[in-house]
Amino acid sequence: MPGLALFVLAAALLTVSAVSTSDTQWIDAGSVRWWTLTTVLHLPMVVILALLTGGLVERVGYFWRGRRLPPPGRMPALPPTVCVQLPMFNEHAVAARVIDAACALVWPAGRLTVQVLDDSTDPETRLLVERACADAQARTGVPCTLLRRTDRRGYKAGALEAGRHRTDAEFIAILDADFVPPSDYLVRAIPYFYRPDGMPDYGLALVQAQWGHLNHDKSALTRAQALWVDDHHTLQMSWRSAMWRFVNFTGTAGIWRAYAIRSVGGWRAASLVEDCELSFRHLFAGYRTTFVKQIVVPAELPATYAAYKAQQRRWTQGWVQLQRLHLPTLAFRHRTRWPRRAHLLYHMCISWQWPAWAIWTTLLPILILNDLWFGTLGPAAGLGLYLLPAALWALTAGVLATLETKHTYPGPATSAALAKRLTRVVPYVAVNAGMLPHQFSAFCEGLFGPLHSEFERTPKAGCGTGTTRPVGRVAVHRPYVFAELAFAGYQAVCAALFVAQGLHLCALGAAVMAGCVLTLAHLGSRREP
């Protein structure tokens, strides 16, 4: 049970907290023993600072290398064939919209096909998909093939692999059901697979586009997610693409060279992040992948906390599974320069931020109550070391992401619009704080659980489609809720102990953490209609 680990840790430290509130000073602050013990106990914070530094390097490095737009090549006289794959499962609210958008893509006649990979089990949704395919093909003349399997073996990866064997197209574009590509998507993206002289660049396997947003202003949750996507895509992926010639496929809004997929063995359901797993196999095979930020494909952000938590659980769990599969190869067997290897290891192991933060936020109150923290040297030392790095990182990421993603939003980039988007930093920090025990539980499940876990789809509301059908419910994972309640209770007791000792600023921090976790636990556990 992944939540049990956090509960045991919190319960044990809670006991120590209660015992350690005596006024007896058992070690002299500033002594050699104090410095040694305090430094050792701050190792989780050292890990966090190292991860924050790596992230800051990427964001600042964006202005050095990532900001420059990669030039497209020249298309050959005979355009290549393209197959657009649309994997979906019970996507009643958005299926027709993405099918219409895919068939409306501008591409020479006879060179474009659309595959609808529908694993739906809901009879009404299956009928809707059939009608949407027939209507779109009749309206546009683009062949729209509906492929269905007898079982969901391999989930999304299995559907994509089954569809891959049914097409001989040179390029495969993949779009999740909640994405709405602009009509010129292929016209703008395919040229990147060619050189300026019109010859194919066979070493390039993937062109990944920027995610846009259809509902970024709907709620505090969608605003927080929009900031994360803007930061991760525009800043991080642009820099990784320019500096290291590698970005991971994000599962959608990307175009693959079909031969490249075939050469590394095709799609595998080896983890819950089949897109990233395929990307790293291409890395090991010597292929390059690139990110083009000026090509924006709008998408629907999860509109409910239950849907968002299900998505994050799958991503975090899958990333840890990916490490179990490919970390030894990346660390020891993949041949590359050490700076590139170091960054790729940082890239793959970024999910270790969650256990680092979970351990640190449960350990820090114990250190404070026992005067084993640097705040004993003065308020400036405490604030500067414990608050400033994370606050500076969040503010830097928020400002840079807001200023550099003006092209992803409709309308003019006025000062008022930019100022409003800057306020997204507040819900971004609050949501991430509230998600901490949930993400830690997902990390533990990915590390100790089976590799072949169930793929839980993220429900889509179909914003702007006029649908009135209820959104599918998300299963509530009780161990995760148990971990959230235990962690919030621990922080609440720590806040009370801080008040008893006159540490009011520390009490405020613990109370805010408990409030964020409890709020997200409640909102994420509500049964949606």
Of 184, 201, 275, 371, catalytic: 275
Query: Any residues with CB less than 8 A from the CB of 166 and at least 6 apart, and which?
Result: 115, 145, 147
Query: Any residues with CB less than 8 A from the CB of 151 and at least 6 apart, and which?
Result: none
Cα–Cα dist 385/389, whole Å: 7
Contact 105, 83 (CB under 8 A): no
Torsion angle defined by CA atoms of residues 182, 187, 192 and 196, in that order, rounded to the nearest 10 degrees: -150
Cα–Cα dist 227/120, whole Å: 32
If we measure between CA atoms, which residue out of 297, 313, 348, 308 comes closest to residue 174? 297
Both structure tokens of 493:
């007791």
Contact 409, 417 (CB under 8 A): yes
| 104, containing H or E segment | none
Reported pTM: 0.92
What residue ranges of the chain have pLDDT lower than 50?
Answer: 22-24, 529
Q: Amino acid letter at 52? A: L
Query: Any residues with CB less than 8 A from the CB of 62 and at least 6 apart, and which?
Result: 234, 235, 236, 238, 239, 400, 404
Residue 24: per-residue pLDDT: 44
Cα–Cα dist 282/83, whole Å: 20
Of 118, 119, 176, 230, catalytic: 119
List domains and CATH numbers for the chain. 2-20+31-61+350-451+475-525 (no CATH), 71-332 (3.90.550.10)
Please indicate whether residue 119 is annotated as part of the active site: yes
Residue 116: per-residue pLDDT: 99
Contact 140, 104 (CB under 8 A): yes
